[in-house]
Amino acid sequence: MMRRCFCYAARCKWGQRTWSPTASSGGAAPTNGVSAREALQIVYRPMPLPQTVEYEEDFGHNLMIHREFVSKRHRDQLSFELGALAYSEVELRRGRQHLAGVMNRERRGVAIGAAGAPSDQLHMQTDVDPDTREVLTARYLFDEKRMQFCDRFQNFLQIRLEGHAAQSSDGVKGGEDKHYLFSLMEACAVIYGCETHAAREVYFRMFLSLDLDSLEAEQEALRHRIAEGKLVRQALEQSEEKGGRAMPFCRYQEGILQLPLTMTPPSLLPFRSFHFLRIHRGWTKANPPRTIRTHPL
């Protein structure tokens, strides 16, 4: 009894009086139950269109109408559950990387958008073909600071390219096949005119696929290599000042040179013959050295 009352209340809410489960010859609007207007009111009840799936198919005397509301939470959960069945691990990983790239690009775009500094914003003017919608030309609209930066290098690059073209025999005009230099100049001007580090990092990622962290790491590694080179140079200079005292590497090289020769000296290994000829420049077949003494190069 309670169930009948609940069903009756639901029918009254949607304007439905009676409903018969038996098949009838009336098609979508049976004569002994729901009218055509009531059936359309039931089917086309108000639901959010972006989250509603609609399907209609006409079978002549019958019309099938299917409308289903799918919530955002259920849709995301369903796609997540079906993802493991429809895609492999590689495709899922690439999909996550693509979504992460889109999110990071939107997040980094805020630094040069409306929330960025005025100098960080960069406008572009494009010419589009009205028929094919093809981009014909695209150019940046630089401010005064960026224009001064371009003027410093544009004349130099133009003169240098024209000089190379004049010296070459193929007669290629300067700047036609070297446009990447001017593109690099414009990219440097864009980065030079930024005020904030966040905007610079955005343009670094956009132009060179780099970020400030990797650039700082490369600079630190370069400084370490320069320092190590200075230490090696100082060690070599000190060893030369002390009269060519052999280092461990030189002792090892001396042992190699004292091995019996199985071939003529010019056909020795490049590394061995290089050290041998560099150390004993006056060596000849008629006057071989009696003692072998190595010096650091």
**211-214 contacts, C-beta under 8 A, 24 or more apart:** none
Three-state secondary-structure class, residue 78 = helix
> Sorting pLDDT into bands at 50, 70 and 90, what band is 274?
very low
Residue 220 clears pLDDT 70, i.e. is over it: yes
Considering Cα of 154, then 157, then 160, then 166, what sign does the dihedral take?
negative
Q: What are the residues whose beta carbons fall under 8 Å from the beta carbon of 131, sequence distance 6 or more?
A: none
Residue 218 clears pLDDT 80, i.e. is over it: yes
The per-residue pLDDT for range 243-255, each reduced to its tens digit, is 655 455 555 555 5
Radius of gyration of the chain (CA): 40
- Residue 202, judged by CB atoms within 10 A of its CB (0-12, 13-18, 19+), counts as buried
The per-residue pLDDT for range 166-199, each reduced to its tens digit, is 766 555 454 455 667 888 888 888 888 888 887 8
pLDDT at 275: 38
pLDDT average, residue stretch 53-72 = 79
pLDDT at 39: 74
pTM of the predicted protein model? 0.36
The per-residue pLDDT for range 98-155, each reduced to its tens digit, is 777 777 666 666 656 655 667 777 777 778 888 887 777 777 788 888 888 888 888 8
Residue 279 clears pLDDT 70, i.e. is over it: no
pLDDT at 36: 72
Residue 84 clears pLDDT 50, i.e. is over it: yes
Considering Cα of 176, then 177, then 182, then 183, what sign does the dihedral take?
positive
Element (H, E) at 86: helix 72-86
pLDDT at 70: 79
Q: Where are the domains of the chain?
A: 37-85, 89-164+179-208
> Sorting pLDDT into bands at 50, 70 and 90, what band is 73?
confident
